[in-house]
Amino acid sequence: MNARDLPAMSNVNLQHYWMPFTDNRRFKARPRLVASAKDMYFTTVEGKQVLDGLATLWCVNAGHARPRIVEAIRKQAGELDFASSFALGHPLPFRLAERIAGIAPRGMQQVFFTNSGSEAVDTALKIAVAYHRLRGQAARTRFIGRERSYHGVNVGGMSVSGVAANRKAYSGMLLPGVDHLRHTHDLSRNSFSRGQPEGGAELADELEERIIPLHDASNIAALIIDPVSASGGVLVPPKGYLQRLREICTRHGILLIFDEVITGWGRLGAPFAAQHFGIEPDLITFAKGITSGAVPLGGVLVRASIYETFMQAQGAGMEFFHGYTYSGHPLACAAAMAALDTYEEEKLFQAREAKYFEDGIHSLQGLPNVVDCRNLGLIGAVELTPRPNAPGERGYETFEKCWDRGVFVRPVGDAVAFCPPLIAQKQHLDRMFGTVAEVLKTVA
């Protein structure tokens, strides 16, 4: 993009677009508009470069405008722009599913494609209920989520989510058969932990000691967990916690769903968080980083035994009454194949700078209002003391001042989240954490 194009782009009428998850009045009074992006940086309509410290929205894992991905989308658009997957087909989703199965956790060999993480979660919930029904356990319709978890904004995903602000306006339409485990965030024991906190594995026992006796396991279809609750404030699970949940689910015939929309595709130093933690879930939802954010695409990885239950069901015809018009979209699949090539060639799933990232985030300890620094792989957060009667304002001011100084991070209440593209180098992390440190000294 030429600099002479920027003034024309800055003359934008902001009135008609109702922006998602945005304080529209606040934004339109002081807009932040991006004109282009490359590798680690945005360029605003004013021509200023801003370091992308959140992979934009936890998704641009390979960095912006990577040549292989750009070219794959361009080429595919000229060959096959769209073909349905409803009783029709084209080669790309089959090839992509095979590629994903090749790097997935053991035993997960089937992929159901969606367009987003929200759709992936609702798909996984449907698969769980339908699976139990096929096995003669039709009473298993309840779901267990967790406080401060985020599983998208469709009705099913919002029902199992535990972010209060996302739920309160829609409480009358949420699924009734849902309960929630308490969250694992405990500053009194685990503040400033490097990696997984030492204390808190016993919190998993609530599933067996309270929730299962209350509802009876015969009525529970699945437990859904985001291994790191990113949108809930980057809450890192205590050591042993996820392993205990797996053991409890196995004992009681409850399916375990890992929501890896954010933790998938190298964020923790492995293709999926399940592999990082050494856990075998029954279903994994994914999206975001599968295309490095270039084209919307999501999906559900399914354990082979679950898939075979559907395929071996008696009677002919459709096995699973579910799908989306754009499932397996050609452009999305082409982008995903190119993204996987980029990840593999550049060894981005190794999260090479994870230790340097950890040191950077913990260097913020001791700055004004900082009550916690936490991290795992290339994701982390610094938590600030809320202002009296103004929760979230200190985090938002930090975000705004960082943007003004050329660094993009995300406020999650009074936590400030970091999730840089996997191509981030030491100089990028130095700038990100250095800018945040400067800003925190100015935030009253």
> What is the reported pLDDT for 308?
96
> What is the reported pLDDT for 4?
52
Task: Find out whether 300 and 52 touch, Cβ atoms under 8 Å.
Answer: no
What does each C-alpha distance from 273 to 107, 255, 264, 281 come to in angstroms? Answer: 15, 17, 6, 10
Cβ partners under 8 Å of residue 185, min gap 6: 148, 233, 235
> What is the reported pLDDT for 70?
98
Give the span between the Cα atoms of 362 and 193, in whole angstroms: 9
Reading the chain (444 residues) residue by residue, the pLDDT tens digits are 454 555 555 588 999 999 999 999 999 999 999 999 999 999 999 999 999 999 999 999 999 999 999 999 999 999 999 999 999 999 999 999 999 999 999 999 999 999 999 999 999 999 999 999 999 999 999 999 999 999 999 999 999 999 998 899 899 999 999 999 999 999 999 999 999 999 999 999 999 999 999 999 999 999 999 999 999 999 999 999 999 999 999 999 999 999 999 999 999 999 999 999 999 999 999 999 999 999 999 999 999 999 999 999 877 788 999 999 999 999 999 999 999 999 999 999 999 999 999 999 999 999 999 999 999 999 999 999 999 999 999 999 999 999 999 999 999 999 999 999 999 999 999 999 999 999 999 998
Structure tokens that stand for 251 in this block: 């004992």
Indicate the pTM of the whole model: 0.96
Q: Beta strand pairing status for 255-259 and 220-225?
A: parallel
Task: Find out whether 402 and 418 touch, Cβ atoms under 8 Å.
Answer: no
What does each C-alpha distance from 143 to 24, 128, 298, 384 come to in angstroms? Answer: 34, 9, 21, 33
What does each C-alpha distance from 39 to 331, 360, 406 come to in angstroms? Answer: 21, 21, 15
> What is the reported pLDDT for 11?
80
Give the span between the Cα atoms of 47 and 5, in whole angstroms: 10
What does each C-alpha distance from 74 to 52, 68, 71, 294 come to in angstroms? Answer: 24, 10, 5, 12
> What is the reported pLDDT for 317?
84
